[in-house]
Structure 1
């Protein structure tokens, strides 16, 4: 998740969601973004204006993918009001792939994929 801002109340909500009462094992990582990477460049790196990157990882621990997907959906709901988008570098597993780039970039990347990877060998 790439939130514009990390409000303390929302961070506490995320901590409660992924804390000791969570039936799955969760690893939450919050990175502060900014500096040189925040400067606009002519490439496919999205959401440069975001101030934080929030990752929620759940290693397989026997609770099942349905529980993990439910947790991730709830985590997205917590962040939704302030979320710019999602990071392609943090979209693991069989999760949702939409929203990883701004619409213009997504269209440009689709054109490049159809030209250079028509069989979708690299992007699945």
Structure 2
């Protein structure tokens, strides 16, 4: 092995060892004050998890279904931690931004990703 390669290897090992040591010392200490500060303020974070995601998804479906102008039969909604994704198709291009607007107005929705497309009629025209 060349001497320069040995020095690079030793230097890289030292950097890794120092990084691991710094993370081990600062990891738990940094997270503890943040957790105690949020607990002390009494602020509650929005519910997370699969159950909360399903509940938010149902709320978005219900809000879209209340609008009589929207044909929601081909729209699917996924939710994860407040981020909602709309997939599927609508019969009219004017409905695409309207569905996204309805979804973003649902309490608990943080962001909306709109992947809706216009449904082409049979024959493609």
Question: TM class, shorter-chain normalised?
Answer: 0.3 to 0.5
Kindly indicate whether structure 1 or structure 2 has the higher relative contact order, using CA contacts under 8 Å at least 6 residues apart: 1
The structure with the largest alpha-carbon Rg is: 2
TM-score, normalising length: structure 2: 0.35
Task: Give the structure with the higher percent helix.
Answer: 2
